[in-house]
Structure 1
Amino acid sequence: MKALIKRLMQFAIGSLGSALLNLMMIPVITFFISPEEYGKTSMFMLVQTLLICVIYLGYDQAFAREFYEYPNKKKLFSTAITIPFLFSGVVIGGMCWFAKPISVFLFESDGYHHVVYLIAASIPFLIFERFLFLYIRMQNKALEFSLFNILVKLSILICTVFFLIFFSRTFITVIYAMIIGQVIGDTILMLRNVRIIYMNPIKTDPDLYPRLTKFGLPIAVATVIYSLFVIIDKLFIRYFCDFEQLGLYTAAFKIASALLILQTTFSNFWVPTAYEWHKKQKPMRYFKLVSDSIMFLIAILFMGLLLFKGVIMMVLSPDYSQAQYIFPFLCFYPLMMTVSDTTNLGIVFLKRGTLNIFVSIIALSVSIALNFLLVPKYGAIGASIATGTAYIAFFLARTYFSMRIWEGFSVKSHLVTTFLLVIAASLNTIIHVVWLISIINIVILACIIVIYIPLLRTLYRSYYAKRQLSIT
């Protein structure tokens, strides 16, 4: 247990550091540029998100799945990265060929086509970064993983500050700074791990490709659908509203993403741990204890963000004050992603990746329907409600399919907690009276704590028993 806690804390260093650096980016950018300019910057972030979702073709997940079973880790790395790297050539060629139309779609002008070239050039770095971080993470080198995560984010922050001080304060400056910072950080990571990234076709395993493809391809299809789910809210705002609404929405999304501190930390720790526990055939109560604990913890953080949203919004420029009514529903994004990582284990362990396709289709359908209904009338607030609801659907679908094919465990407390958080998010979106909404938030927080009293007792008894054993 001590080793697990130590590993979790070491992963937390990177997650906390990266999250803090990401949060520092918000006041830096919003201080220098207007919501409208920030909205244009978010279109670049949209493209990068889409690339990250699609470019790996599911081979990154297949690499993680095979890591503990395949004996030669370097050969596994070379084999798994080859197809995504070849596919990146096709993507880069397509982006360069259609650079001007892409520029018009993103920024309403073909004068920024050179930015599309720069984004395309950064794709190989994104691939190496993803697989190297996976390699380090699956080896449980938590401290090294954390330090390089911080390094990449710090490089982006330093470049952004430098560019905004010495160059024009527009969205294009931010985009250049973020790409160059990313490439610098990834280059250092690659130099540190040059012995791993050396790829030789002779050192790949042709017999491994079918296995990787069988597991990864369904995930790739699901990921393409999921990528549409991730970006659909921004596209609806872009079409039905303006760049100012998109900028406010992006700022609110960044605030809500503070909960990703826990999501990233937990995911980095949980993926290798869950596979390890499954291999050792750990009892189901261990998986349930982790799932209940993470639901309770992130629900507390969720309510903490709502309680102190006025203070949190002080990090933004006054031009972004309306973002405080947009971000409550967006908090469901990291919450549902984190909790579903503990309830979808049946899909992962039994290698039923095709079920991820149905999960993504369900979430995408909910997102499109609600965005179509709400964004034209309510703008960014409507998009946030649609996004939050879609992520709840994502969690429910993931959990349902997993529990149908796996032994599983009860998630009743998860469902009750989610219902309470939906009430809290709804009231925080429509009620602007500070004292009233504060009382409501405290009452809902108390209800959540009451629900998890049995869990807290179990954790305390476990801690007390182990402490008594260590004393004796």
Structure 2
Amino acid sequence: MNRRNILAFALGPVLTALLGLVTLPIVAWIFPPTDIGRNNVFQVAINFSVLIFVLGLDQAFVREYHESKQRDALFKACFLPGLFLLTIVVVLLVPFSADVSWLLYGEAEPLWGWLTAGCIFFSFLARFLSLILRMQERGLAFSLSQVMPKVLMVTVLLGYLFLDVDRVYTSLLLANLISIVAVTLALVWNTRIELKRGFFARVHVSDLKPLLSFGLPLIVAGIAYWGLKATSTLVLRANGAFEELAVYSLALSFASAATVFQTVFSTIWMPTVYKWVANNHDLDLLESVNGQLVAVIGVILLACATLSWLLDYFLPPVYAEVKYLLPVCMLQPLFYTLSETTVVGLNIQRKTGYSVLIALIAFFVNFSLSLLLAGQFGAVAVASVNALAFFVFTVLRTEFARRVWRPLPRAKMYVSSGVYLLFSIFFATYQPTRVLEWSVMVSIGVVYIGAVHRADLANAWSFVFKKTKV
């Protein structure tokens, strides 16, 4: 995959993040706070439902794509089980749509339940269809499939504003459904040739067993990972520390900028590695990519710590602590991204059952320490513990992958990751207020990265600014 393709894949997450910043204020101006809260529940329901109903077969499709000689049959085998299960569940729940609505949104509105079911159904379709574009390395088309929902959402909402549509939650749900359906139709058009071939492809029941063996453990791992991410928020809410929760949530929102980096890397990385394996490519590149990523993460953290004081100009004084939590909150997506370079061995060897154990151990670390420290130290504690849990998550993924596949040198990665963790926790707890203190901390970080990761940064620079292929 060359630099042009990578930039094409990166376009989607970047534009989606920017459009998200536009969409939220528009929604806030049009709809009351209760409906905005309901829309958050809606997003959780969509994400959780797709996670369950894909049965992990989306990842099985990605894993087997480059090694399969019958890709149309592979897609059909991965797509049909979840579609069949989802259709049955939706049909069974239709008579109980009012109950579903009450469970999700606090009001027994049957139409809300039907609209939500429609969004789940089309989100499932869009998930699988977008994988075809991803695996064919059609980066621009893939990015457009991610951006289109946000563009259509903004368009529909502006239409509501100018046409004076009733500002009720039904209208917001309908806007979500319109955007998801439109994107799905666009994906159907972009993949029409593959879908036609897949329709006539033959699939045997025996083909499903290895795919499900690979995919089903990923569902449990996905749920455990969701719990790992949500623990900090749940513990703060359980303690009734709503002011601390507001600070932590705001820091996470700003830190979510790092998820763009995570999304771009994850979208490109796994298919690329599977392609390397299928083509007997030189896998020593894994070590090089890992080292470059460790160096880039250090640069991102230093830039974040250096510029975080600018948040004071955009936030009320009550949120002054946010700037100190920003680096430690960014470690969650950054450590996850780093672990993607080492965990590939589990996926290549189809040992995805370990993913469940890894996520559960990290979840236990996060949950137990957060319960112990949140009451006394609040947002600083849960943010620091969350970063520690993701460091444990990264170490476990690395060690299990080394055990089942090939050894990857990891001493420098562990040392630097530990330094980043300690730096971020110290920054969050010490909270430097004077320019001299701030400058000394950042300067130490610059010296460390320059001394340890100079070659890695040079390689990363060469890749970004030269036409290097991976």
Query: C-alpha separation between the residues in 1 aligned to 2:222 and 2:110?
Result: 27
Query: C-alpha separation between the residues in 2 aligned to 1:432 and 1:26?
Result: 32
Alignment of 1:221-232 (within 5 A): 221-232=220-231
Query: C-alpha separation between the residues in 1 aligned to 2:317 and 2:181?
Result: 32
Structure 1 letter corresponding to 2:135: M
Q: What are structure 1's unaligned runs of at least 5 residues?
A: 468-472
Q: How much does 1:114 deviate?
A: 5.3
1:274 is matched with: 273
Q: How much does 1:157 deviate?
A: 4.0
| In the alignment, structure 1 residue 351 sits paired with structure 2 residue 350 | yes
Q: What are structure 2's unaligned runs of at least 5 residues?
A: none
1:453 is matched with: 454
1:428 is matched with: 427
1:392 is matched with: 391
After alignment, is 334-343 or 149-158 more displaced? Answer: 149-158
Alignment of 1:399-418 (within 5 A): 399-418=398-417
Structure 2 letter corresponding to 1:352: K
2:15 is matched with: 17
Mapped contact 1:38–1:247 kept (Cα < 8 A): no
What SS class does the counterpart of residue 351 from structure 1 fall into?
coil
Q: How much does 1:271 deviate?
A: 1.6
What SS class does the counterpart of residue 67 from structure 2 fall into?
coil
Q: How much does 1:62 deviate?
A: 0.7
Q: 1:130 aligns with which of 113, 119, 127?
A: 127
Number of residue pairs the alignment of both structures matches: 464
Q: How much does 1:457 deviate?
A: 5.4
Query: C-alpha separation between the residues in 1 aligned to 2:102 and 2:39?
Result: 14
What SS class does the counterpart of residue 280 from structure 2 fall into?
coil
Mapped contact 1:76–1:205 kept (Cα < 8 A): no
After alignment, is 449-458 or 80-89 more displaced? Answer: 449-458
TM-score by length of 1: 0.83
1:65 is matched with: 63
In structure 2, relative to structure 1, the CA distance for the partners of 1:218 and 1:246 (3 Å cut) is same
2:213 is matched with: 214
Structure 1 letter corresponding to 2:445: I
- Computed over aligned residues only, the root mean square deviation of the Cα atoms, in angstroms, reads 3.8
Q: How much does 1:95 deviate?
A: 6.5
What SS class does the counterpart of residue 2 from structure 2 fall into?
helix
Mapped contact 2:148–2:183 kept (Cα < 8 A): yes
Task: Output one character per residue of 1:232-275: Cα deviation in whole Å (capped at 9) or x when no partner.
Answer: 33433444337776565444323212112222222222222111
Mapped contact 2:308–2:324 kept (Cα < 8 A): no
Q: 2:72 aligns with which of 66, 71, 74?
A: 74
Query: C-alpha separation between the residues in 1 aligned to 2:94 and 2:311?
Result: 40
In structure 2, relative to structure 1, the CA distance for the partners of 1:213 and 1:429 (3 Å cut) is same
In structure 2, relative to structure 1, the CA distance for the partners of 1:259 and 1:462 (3 Å cut) is closer
Mapped contact 2:221–2:359 kept (Cα < 8 A): yes
Q: 2:144 aligns with which of 143, 147, 153?
A: 147
After alignment, is 63-72 or 182-191 more displaced? Answer: 182-191
2:365 is matched with: 366
Query: C-alpha separation between the residues in 1 aligned to 2:33 and 2:307?
Result: 23
Mapped contact 1:39–1:243 kept (Cα < 8 A): no
In structure 2, relative to structure 1, the CA distance for the partners of 1:126 and 1:369 (3 Å cut) is same
Mapped contact 1:21–1:154 kept (Cα < 8 A): yes
Mapped contact 2:16–2:150 kept (Cα < 8 A): yes
In structure 2, relative to structure 1, the CA distance for the partners of 1:406 and 1:266 (3 Å cut) is same
2:5 is matched with: 7
1:470 is matched with: none
Task: Output one character per residue of 1:281-333: Cα deviation in whole Å (capped at 9) or x when no partner.
Answer: 33342110011112211331233223222335756688866544444332122
Mapped contact 2:214–2:352 kept (Cα < 8 A): yes
In structure 2, relative to structure 1, the CA distance for the partners of 1:257 and 1:465 (3 Å cut) is closer
Mapped contact 1:36–1:246 kept (Cα < 8 A): no
Q: How much does 1:185 deviate?
A: 2.9
Mapped contact 1:67–1:76 kept (Cα < 8 A): yes
Query: C-alpha separation between the residues in 2 aligned to 1:378 and 1:290?
Result: 37
Alignment of 1:258-407 (within 5 A): 258-311=257-310, 323-407=322-406
Mapped contact 1:371–1:386 kept (Cα < 8 A): yes
After alignment, is 6-15 or 285-294 more displaced? Answer: 6-15
Give the % identical residues.
23
Query: C-alpha separation between the residues in 2 aligned to 1:91 and 1:106?
Result: 16
1:120 is matched with: 117
Query: C-alpha separation between the residues in 1 aligned to 2:120 and 2:293?
Result: 33
In structure 2, relative to structure 1, the CA distance for the partners of 1:387 and 1:465 (3 Å cut) is closer
Structure 1 letter corresponding to 2:441: I
